[in-house]
Amino acid sequence: MKRFTLVALVVAVVFLIPTALAKQPKCRADLGHCPREGCSQNSDHDPDLNKLKNLKSSTKPVVDRTLTEMMEREQKVEDSGYRRGDDRAPLKDLDEGTQARVVGYLLAVKQEHGESCNCHLNKVDVTTDNHLVLVNPETVTDNPLPEPATPDELKAILELTTTPILPANFRRE
């Protein structure tokens, strides 16, 4: 059962979520005209978060964090009651803006689409990023994956998964 849950989670994140997210039309002609704050047609974006996402480099030291620490930090953000547009002081108190290095097992890579930080431009590998699904070593040892799934097995998993199974710290942007 654990194996099925883990496979279903990967399938949901990689295949189902991108189609569920509504894509907005671009709000600038190209990346050169996209402000650091980003943009969206309905102004439903977080300019301060986009400024952080659009940093090209930083002189701040890199802090090593475990994946568990990062998930605990996300829970603290949720517990703080922070909502988009609020004062970011609670997030800064949790070290928002710190350069963190996390080591984990790469479970899946999800190609992203245009977001408000890149003015909803959709040029793959130029204006979009990839989201990496990382897991702890315990997840790998406790839930060994079967040999690569055949197309028929993958189709059966998709048919059984009517509701995406998402980890507690998953946030839809």
Model confidence pLDDT, tens digit, residues 2-45: 554 444 444 444 444 444 445 688 889 988 899 999 998 888 88
Token digits for 21?
A: 């997210």
CA dist 87 to 14, 37, 90, 169, Å? 32, 16, 8, 21
Asked if pLDDT for residue 97 goes beyond 80, the answer is yes
Cut 0.85: pTM above it: no
Look at residue 106 and give its three-state secondary structure: strand
Q: How far is CA 106 from the centre of its chain?
A: 13
- d(C-alpha 172, C-alpha 84), whole Å: 12
CA dist 51 to 97, 118, 153, Å? 10, 11, 43
pLDDT band at 164 (very low <50, low <70, confident <90, very high): very low
Average model confidence (pLDDT) across the chain: 75
